[in-house]
Amino acid sequence: MQLNDWLRLAVDSVEEWQSTYPPFERHPSLDVGDERFRAAFDEFATRMRGNYPYFHPSYAGQMLKPPHPAAVAGYLAAMLVNPNNHALDGGKVTSELEKEVVADLATMFGFGTHLGHLTSSGTIANLEALYVARELHPDRGVAFSEEAHYTHSRMCGLLGVAGTPVPADGLGRIDLDALDRLLAGGQIGTVVATAGTTGLGAIDPVHEVLAVARRHGVRVHVDAAYGGFFTLLAGSGGRTGLDPLPWRAIAECDSVVVDPHKHGLQPYGCGAVLFGDPSVGRFYAHDSPYTYFTSSELHLGEISLECSRAGAAAAALWLTLRLLPLTPDGLGQVLTACREAALDWANLLDESDLLQLFQRPELDIVSYYPVTSPASLSEIDRASARILADGMNDPQRPVFISTLNVTADAFGRRHPEVTADRDQARILRSVLMKPESQTYVSWLHSRLEELAG
């Protein structure tokens, strides 16, 4: 990929457009000179070298990777214009692009009608969904699995609604019986199902959550911030295909969040929230006498809690989806490679004497722990922390993973043979969200075995 060429194209296209307007002198107050720029940039570049190598397949720690070069070029070209997708006059073209990509996301989830927009993150997208949940049921709370992202309980606090965690089962999915019992109490207005939990990539059975919720007259919001794009593999069969039922059920839910800045190849910040019922837009009504004056068409700021939002984020996603559309053989191929990587690693872990699979991956997040003697939570915790540190700090052959804190209860349900001599333990976790992981998994596995040995 010719990133330099694409960046040049992006800059040229903007400069060419600018040249169609009368020339003017740049104000001297903005002039910093090449030499000073160079010195400042050198300092900056040196600082930036301190980053972990998120681009490299030896980095399999958190949900991090660089954006696709097309997204970078699209973002740059739009950023040089710097539109603001709050109002149509501020984001004249990029608001249109945003409406188009939001419609693409809605189609991906099978939403017929929809109302939605991009946000700066999954956190803000979920906040918007829970805000609408509160407006619809001001006297009822929100339920979410204990494995849900922490944002749900935090945002409930922020919104002043009661947030109730529901226990998870032995696969890290929301416990349906516990949910049923909770909803029967009549105190819950909305339940959050997570399609791809942050820790383990577990998929709540959205179809069953929906059935339980509807029986009790409760709304369903799906947090698919991490997993959402995996819906492209739903029912595709083969080794990497996913059970279509949870994914198809999203179409019947009330709202869904997906983060293009996770598996959509976008730079931060790009989240998205979609509602099935466009009339929820009424909860966003606000008075803004200084804006919304150029058109009676929908300004995205009229349906968003955020005011200014980067038009460049919409541009980057739009350009990316032109090249890698939301189809199994478009962006789906990237996700297939990530799934392959996770399944391959799980197979290698099945064969290993040094590392043990914690739970079979449902998406592309692999969880495992070092085999210790004695097999106890304190030994596993100690060994996991050591492996993490040794891997990151090895100057010759570094490897970057993460740890996941699991409770003794969650551990015991999967591996009852391990002695629970403490309340929780760190295990090892790898997020294989770069398609290159597929060819790197055997290296990752043997490197981790070396460190565990």
Ligand X SMILES: Cc1ncc(COP(=O)(O)O)c(C=O)c1O
Residue where the block lists tokens 């945003």: 98
Least Cβ distance, residue 200 to ligand X (angstroms): 11
Helix axes 69-81, 311-323, angle to 10 degrees: 150
Q: Which residues is 185 bridged to in the sheet? A: none
361 part of the interface to ligand X, by CB under 6 A: no
367 part of the interface to ligand X, by CB under 6 A: no
Q: Which is nearer to ligand X, 149 or 445 (CB)?
A: 149
Residue where the block lists tokens 């940039």: 41
Least Cβ distance, residue 448 to ligand X (angstroms): 23
Give the phi and the psi of residue 89 in degrees, each rounded to 5: -75, -30
Give the phi and the psi of residue 322 in degrees, each rounded to 5: -65, -35
Q: Which stretch binds ligand X (CB under 6 A): 94-102, 223-231, 414-422, 442-450?
A: 223-231
Pairing status of strand 271-275 against strand 255-258: antiparallel
259 part of the interface to ligand X, by CB under 6 A: yes
Q: Which residue is nearest to ligand X (CB)?
A: 122
Our CA angle for 62, 362, 444, nearest 5°, is 50
Q: Which is nearer to ligand X, 208 or 259 (CB)?
A: 259
Q: Which is nearer to ligand X, 226 or 345 (CB)?
A: 226
| Residue 27: how many other CB atoms lie within 10 Å | 7
Residues of this chain, 53-82, that bind ligand X according to CB under 6 A: 63
320 part of the interface to ligand X, by CB under 6 A: no
* Sequence-ordered strand ranges (E) for 237-281: 255-258, 271-275
| Residue 50: how many other CB atoms lie within 10 Å | 6
Q: Which is nearer to ligand X, 195 or 331 (CB)?
A: 195
Least Cβ distance, residue 31 to ligand X (angstroms): 37
Mask 104-133, x = binds ligand X (CB under 6 A)?
-----------------xxx--x-------
201 part of the interface to ligand X, by CB under 6 A: no
Total residues binding ligand X (CB under 6 A): 14
Instruction: Compute the half-sphere exposure of residue 307: CA atoms within 13 Å on the CB side of its CA.
Output: 6
Least Cβ distance, residue 221 to ligand X (angstroms): 11
What is the separation of C-alpha 339 from the centre of its chain, rounded to a whole number of angstroms?
A: 16
Instruction: Report the C-alpha gap between 27 and 32 in whole angstroms.
Output: 11
Q: Which of 141, 201, 264, 271 binds ligand X (CB under 6 A)?
A: 271
Q: Which stretch binds ligand X (CB under 6 A): 181-189, 218-226, 230-238, 351-359?
A: 218-226
| Residue 261: how many other CB atoms lie within 10 Å | 25
Q: Which stretch binds ligand X (CB under 6 A): 19-27, 75-83, 132-140, 220-228?
A: 220-228
Query: Is the distance from CB of 311 to CB of 95 less than 8 angstroms?
Result: yes
H helix count then E strand count, the chain: 15, 11
SS (H, E, C) 319-387: HHHHHCCCCCCCHHHHHHHHHHHHHHHHHHHHHCCCEEEEECCCCCEEEEEECCCCCEHHHHHHHHHHH
430 part of the interface to ligand X, by CB under 6 A: no
Length of the chain as a residue count:
453
Q: Which of 114, 149, 207, 221 binds ligand X (CB under 6 A)?
A: 149
151 part of the interface to ligand X, by CB under 6 A: yes
Least Cβ distance, residue 402 to ligand X (angstroms): 12
Q: Which is nearer to ligand X, 269 or 370 (CB)?
A: 269
SS3 405: strand
266 part of the interface to ligand X, by CB under 6 A: no
Least Cβ distance, residue 269 to ligand X (angstroms): 7
Q: Which is nearer to ligand X, 151 or 430 (CB)?
A: 151
223 part of the interface to ligand X, by CB under 6 A: yes
198 part of the interface to ligand X, by CB under 6 A: yes
Instruction: Report the C-alpha gap between 359 and 77 in whole angstroms.
Output: 43
What is the separation of C-alpha 114 from the centre of its chain, rounded to a whole number of angstroms?
A: 21
145 part of the interface to ligand X, by CB under 6 A: no
Interface with ligand X (CB under 6 A): 63, 121-123, 126, 149, 151, 194, 198, 223, 225-226, 259, 271
